[in-house]
């Protein structure tokens, strides 16, 4: 797995175009679900090796940037109002995305936020994310 930490929109576009399969991870240091997701992304990275690039964007650093393009770059795909968010790119094109940690195929109960039992945090499981990658032809 190749991991980049970027804020520059032009560099992000370049990296998305350069790699066959890319996950863009919007996260923040204070966000516990973001940290859980980061752990799962590292597991996926170990499985897929250099077949996958992950671009990690710290939402706090992006919002503090004086470059307004950097802050609003992601609105071209989907407005971000909460994190974590993942964008899945195949051959430079957006093929899937999730907002607030919800991934297609993971349907948490409103009252259940537990890990591994279908709750919201269970959506951050490496197997669930791998299924998205496979469905999109990225793994």
In which element (H, E) is residue 121 found?
A: none
Helix spans in 50-91 (H): 59-64, 68-72
Give yes or no for a contact between 12 and 24, defined as CB atoms under 8 angstroms apart: yes
Residues labelled catalytic: 31, 34
Q: Is the dihedral of CA 22, 70, 31, 81 positive or negative?
A: negative
């Amino acid at each position: 797995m190749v991991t980049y930490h970027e804020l520059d929109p032009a560099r992000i576009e370049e990296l998305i175009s350069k790699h066959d399969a890319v996950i863009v991870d919007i996260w923040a240091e204070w966000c516990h679900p973001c940290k859980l997701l980061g752990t799962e992304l590292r597991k996926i990275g170990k499985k897929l090796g250099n077949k996958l690039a992950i671009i990690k964007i710290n939402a706090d650093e992006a919002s503090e940037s004086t470059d307004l393009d950097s802050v609003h770059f992601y609105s071209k795909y989907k407005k971000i109002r909460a994190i974590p968010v993942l964008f899945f790119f195949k051959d430079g094109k957006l093929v899937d995305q999730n907002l607030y940690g919800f991934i297609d195929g993971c349907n948490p109960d409103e009252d259940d936020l537990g890990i591994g039992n279908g709750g919201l945090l269970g959506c951050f499981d490496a197997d669930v994310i791998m299924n998205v990658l496979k469905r999109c032809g990225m793994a």
